Every structure is written in C-alpha cells, then in structure tokens.
Amino acid sequence: MSQRILGVKGMNDLLPPDIAVWQVLEAAARETFRRFGYEEARTPAVEDTALFVRSVGEATDIVGKEMYTFEDKAGRSLSLRPEGTAPLVRAYVEHAVAQKEPVTRWWYLGPMFRYERMKTGRYRQFWQVGAEAYGVRAPAQETELIDLAMQLFDAVGLEGIRVELNSLGDPETRGVYLESLRTFLRAHRTELCAECQERTEKNPLRVFDCKNPSCQAVLALAPAITDGLSGEARAHFEAVQRQLGLLGIPFRVNPRMVRGIDYYTRTAFEFLSDDPVLGTASAVGGGGRYDRLVKELGGPDTPAVGWALGMDRLTLLLQAKGTVQPVRPGLFVAVAEESAADAALALVSRLRRAGHRVDFDARSGSLKSQMKRADKSGATYALVLGSRELTSGEAHLKPLAGGEPVPVRLDALEATLRAARAATAGPL
C-alpha cells in the first residue's frame, strides 16, 4: 500500500461544511466594497523578492525570518507574497494607473504565506481580504477605510471588534523619535531579551511587539511617538479622530501600537477582538497610511492608505457565533425504479437550470437508502419519481422535517418550488 501524502504543515484545506462560513464572509466583503466604490484587483502569488525587501523592510521579521524565498530555473530570487499591499503598489506603478485616474480604490482577496510559529488563527498559508486607496492625502481617506471595515463586520454580525489608533508621524518626526527610542532602549539594554537587543539597533519600533514581561516593563517607561509629532502630523491625526467620532465609530489611541511593516507613516490602526476563540491573537486586521511607498517603488509621489483583515481569524469568530449555516438543497429527487432514472436526471437538470437547489444520487440504489441520503442532505422536500408518477404526471413533495406530503403536477413543479421559496425565503 502506498504511503499517504499529507498536506503541508500550516497550510490548511478549506472543506464543506466549514467553507460556507468563508463564502458568507467573501460575499459580504464583495457587497461592502461595491457600496464603497472599490474595485477588485488580483496579483500573482509570487513576486520578485526585492519588492518585499524594499517595501516591507529588510530588518522586519517578515523579510528576515518568515518569507518563503527560492530561486527559479533562471536564478531569479522569488518569494511567495507575505502580504498584499506591496504587490498592489507594484501593479499600480507598473501599469501607470496614476496617469489614468487621480484616485484609485482597489480591494483584494487571496492567500499569503509566512513561515512563522503557528497558533490559533495564524497559519503559514493564511487568507487576507484587503483594501487600498491611492491619491488622497486628506485624513478622510483613513476614516473611510476604517468605516468600510466596521461596516463589513456589521454585515456579517461580528460584534465587539474595537479600533485602536496611533500616529507614526511624518518622516522627520519618525527619524527624531527613532533616535530617542533607540537611546532609551540602549540605556535599558540589560533588561531586554536578546531579540529586543538586536531589534534596538536594526528596527527599534519592533521592540513594541515583544510579549516578554521584562521587555514590556521597560516599554511602559519608553517615550511615545505621539509626544513628538509635528504640527502637521498632529493636526492630521486629530482630524481622523474627530471624523471617526462624527461617524459614531468608537476607538482608543494607543501610542505603543506599531505595525510590523516599515512602509507605514502617519496614521496606523488595528482591529481587535477579545473573543477567547482567538486565544492570544487579538488582532483581526490592521493597516494605515503609506504615502512614500509608491514613489519608493518607482512611481509618482502618490499618497496611499490601506488595510488587511485576516480571514482565518474572522471565520473563527463567525464559527463561534454559530449564525452561519450551510446552504441546503430545497429538493431531493429519489428514483423509485431504474426505468425512471433518465427522466429523473432530466427533471433535476431542468429545475437546476431554473435556479433551484436540487440534489439527487446518481448511484440510485434502493428507495430506502435514497431517502436516508435525502434526510442527510438537509433538503426541505423529497420527491419520488417512478413509472407511476411519470405516467400520471403527478408526484408528491414530502416535507423531510415532518408533515403531510403535498401533491404536485410535474409540469407545475418549478412554479410550486418558486412559490414555496418566496413563502419561506429559503434556497428551494
């Protein structure tokens, strides 16, 4: 017997019935993006490694430790995308989109890849849905994107997701702050873990990501970037807060919150949930402004804002909520005898073409076994088709949840199912 080949660790299969939750989330995302005027963009799963080194940052954990990088047969260094923003900016620049329209709003959905330590809702192939807006410097762009995410959460019935905000300042503010933070961390070097000692020199903002208690005790005394914002950066940040208040979106300013990617500037934000199903991973998404990235990747000086939501984590929340149920067929057609099999196949095809959800088992088998499969399918009704029904042109719709069979003419079956669907708003 051949040895089984298993899936790659941390890269999960998405199968029925769990896939129904994903489909509900995807459908809600598409509809919410439609209402906000965002259009879908799709980029390849593999990009030139240099794209992520230049955009995400060579000193980040993503580039330094987590990317799936390999050489192709031509000796080029390629990487599976670890996030979605840089590929979209690459496409925006490559296709000269800025020359075609002053403002561009895109959304995307797809798998990302990072070789990292796995825990609840964090996998090595993970799915993100994201939104990016190019061409607007006004703080209203951050506000709109945060509103978009919150309306998406509302659309799928996810409650209790909160917003945390910070400002990473403009380039001048950030440079001064990084030196101030680095000086502080050097003074407390012996109290930091080995990894944070290394981060102090390479990328001091990443120290805020450390969960080590001794490091957290040091960071409680660290200077906050919001204390040194320029007048322009402060006014921008205050405008975002004021606008969120106007929209009734609650938030908390967290001056210790940083993003794990270097391209962010000014506003940064995260969406958090305290639901225990997520374990210690409370963030379900985040984003911010990245006004320099388009120019750094060879495009014109173009402001931009974006966010990404972790679909794996959002679906965990939806599954725990239990409100998404698998879609069941409205009708199961059973065959009473083999001579009716072709007629049953034709009937099922006609009903499906008319838009009804219909199931039947091509294996046929005994009527008793077919009715067991009908019950297992979760269908609303079962219809048995045999020579008697074909001769008379009449059959019975049997409610599988209980109740008396309903007589129906076969030539009126489509209309009967339509009426039943209208009455129950169900997938008949």
The model's pLDDT over 73-131, given as tens digits with 9 standing for 90+, comes to: 999 999 999 999 999 999 999 999 999 999 999 999 999 999 988 887 889 999 999 99
150 CB-contact burial (10 Å; exposed 0-12 / middle 13-18 / buried 19+): buried
Question: Which residue's structure tokens are 């799963």?
Answer: 45
pTM over 0.85? The answer is yes
Tell me the per-residue pLDDT of 369-424, one tens digit each, with 9 for 90 and over: 999 999 999 999 999 999 999 999 999 999 998 889 989 999 999 988 888 777 66
CATH 3.40.50.1820 for domain 331-424: no
Name the residue among 252, 229, 243 with its Cα closest to residue 168: 229
CA pair distance 268, 250, nearest whole angstrom: 15
In eight-state DSSP terms, residue 281 is -
A 10 A CB-CB count for 99 gives 9
As a three-state string, the secondary structure of 77-130 is EEEECCCCHHHHHHHHHHCCHHHCCCCEEEEEEEEEECCCCCECCECCEEEEEE
CA pair distance 316, 313, nearest whole angstrom: 5
CA pair distance 179, 61, nearest whole angstrom: 20
Whole-Å CA distances, 127 to 12, 189, 285, 288, 324: 10, 37, 11, 19, 19
* Residue ranges with strand state E in 330-389: 331-335, 358-359, 381-385
191: pLDDT confidence band, cut at 50, 70 and 90?
A: confident
Alpha helix ranges (H) inside 131-230: 140-155, 171-187, 194-202, 213-219
CA pair distance 286, 271, nearest whole angstrom: 6
In eight-state DSSP terms, residue 262 is T
CATH 3.40.50.300 for domain 19-170+230-321: no
Name the residue among 182, 275, 175, 281 with its Cα closest to residue 229: 175
The average pLDDT across 207-212 equals: 79
- Residue 40 predicted with pLDDT over 70: yes
CA pair distance 195, 290, nearest whole angstrom: 27
- Residue 428 predicted with pLDDT over 60: no
Residue ranges of domains in the chain: 19-170+230-321, 331-424
The pLDDT of residue 423: 66
The average pLDDT across 206-222 equals: 82
- Residue 261 predicted with pLDDT over 90: no
